[in-house]
């Protein structure tokens, strides 16, 4: 299985334009195709255990537990439709916004069953670029970010945890060069997760302009749950994100667009978490995106095994009083 990555860019600049050529988000090697026809229960809140790997070589990037907690709070607002800025949603899209029914919690047990705070800290020269593989051409063994023995940090089993690596991705001037990137379902377990620069993580300093509200993680975890960009990865009106209620869009939006913006013959939903706008300009997932994410957990979906491992309802089934696996 090839690695499947998608990156979120930093800002409008010559660097960015050059970056497009080098680090541009790419389509999965295999088109996602129709999602599974099965679904998980509509009312189920899926709880995602998270492990945060903090890799740093300067004190300011050894981010605080408090900064990590702010990121968890943002995720639990954005994926539960509890974010205050949802009130900015234009009337024409108000009926489409969705509670994805997904929550995130720092892991309390490590893979060996021992207590943990869900945070790993590594002082290292390895940075976030050392895991970036946009063309898929670098062997996993050479992606040092993902290997403890090479100064990185090994993934915890990706069928039990969401791995988040927080690691510097500076440009040659020391500014943030890339905010984050993610795997899609189906990636090799060694690299399955998201990578985010500390300046785009949480809502406490250090932060980079345009990335003040923790939305890089919201966006990248959207990819981790099988969402594509709403502009459909190609700059034309026919490319699709396989979601019916996100209007087709000719191209990505950046910065803080003035509403409304038109392409493909209609108003564009640039305020969607899966566009490229600044944090303060994005604030919604749609019902169709909710369905696509949740179907990733269902039978036949790319994170069904993960779901069966973490779902309280499936655990009830496995361990409850009627379970065939119950032990005396």
Active site residues: 220
Query: How many CB atoms sit inside 10 A of residue 226's CB?
Result: 23
The residue among 166 and 217 lying less far from Zn ion, judged by its C-beta, is: 217
- For 194, which DSSP code? E
Least Å distance, CB 191 to Zn ion, is 16
Least Å distance, CB 21 to Zn ion, is 16
Closest CA to 312 of 104, 45, 43: 45
Contact (Cβ atoms closer than 8 angstroms) between residue 75 and residue 52 = no
Least Å distance, CB 239 to Zn ion, is 14
The residue among 56 and 276 lying less far from Zn ion, judged by its C-beta, is: 276
Residue with smallest beta-carbon separation from Zn ion: 6
The residue among 107 and 241 lying less far from Zn ion, judged by its C-beta, is: 241
CA 29 and chain centroid, separation: 18
Site string for Zn ion, 36-75 (x = CB under 5 A): ----------------------------------------
Site string for Zn ion, 1-40 (x = CB under 5 A): -----x-x--------------------------------
The residue among 8 and 292 lying less far from Zn ion, judged by its C-beta, is: 8
Number of residues that bind Zn ion (CB under 5 A): 2
Distance CA 107, CA 54 (A): 15
Distance CA 303, CA 314 (A): 14
Contact (Cβ atoms closer than 8 angstroms) between residue 302 and residue 182 = no
Distance CA 253, CA 318 (A): 46
Closest CA to 140 of 189, 193, 186, 178: 189
Q: Quick check: 217 binds Zn ion (CB under 5 A)?
A: no
Question: 276 - beta bridge partners?
Answer: 254
Provide the binding-site residues for Zn ion, judged by CB under 5 A: 6, 8
């Amino acid at each position: 299985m090839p690695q499947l990555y998608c990156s979120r860019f930093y800002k409008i600049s010559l660097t960015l334009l050059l970056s497009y050529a080098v680090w541009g988000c790419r389509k999965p090697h295999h088109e996602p195709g129709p999602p599974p026809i099965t679904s998980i229960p509509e009312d189920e809140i899926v709880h995602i255990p998270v492990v945060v790997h903090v890799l740093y070589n300067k004190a300011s990037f050894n981010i605080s537990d408090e900064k990590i907690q702010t990121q968890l709070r943002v995720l639990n607002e954005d994926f539960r439709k509890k974010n205050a800025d949802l009130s900015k949603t234009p009337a024409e899209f108000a009926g489409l916004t969705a509670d994805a029914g997904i929550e995130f919690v720092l892991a309390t047990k490590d893979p060996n069953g021992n207590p943990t705070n869900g945070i790993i800290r590594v002082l290292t020269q390895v940075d976030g670029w050392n895991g970036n593989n946009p063309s898929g051409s670098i062997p996993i063994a050479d992606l040092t970010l993902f290997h403890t023995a090479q100064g990185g940090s090994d993934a915890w089993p990706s069928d039990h945890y969401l791995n988040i690596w927080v690691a510097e991705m500076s440009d040659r001037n020391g500014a943030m060069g890339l905010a984050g990137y993610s795997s899609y379902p189906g990636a090799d377990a060694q690299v399955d997760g998201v990578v985010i620069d500390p300046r785009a993580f949480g809502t406490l300093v250090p932060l980079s302009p345009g990335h003040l509200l923790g939305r890089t993680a919201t966006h990248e975890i959207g990819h981790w749950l099988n969402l594509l960009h709403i502009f459909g990865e190609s700059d034309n009106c026919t490319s699709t994100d396989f979601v019916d209620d996100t209007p087709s869009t000719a191209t990505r939006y950046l910065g803080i667009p003035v509403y409304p913006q038109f392409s493909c013959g209609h108003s564009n939903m640039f305020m969607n978490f899966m566009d490229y706008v600044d944090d303060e300009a994005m604030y919604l997932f749609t019902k169709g995106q909710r369905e696509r994410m949740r179907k990733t957990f269902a039978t036949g979906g790319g994170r069904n095994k993960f779901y069966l491992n973490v779902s309280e309802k499936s655990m009830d089934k496995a361990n409850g009083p009627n379970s065939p696996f119950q032990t005396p």
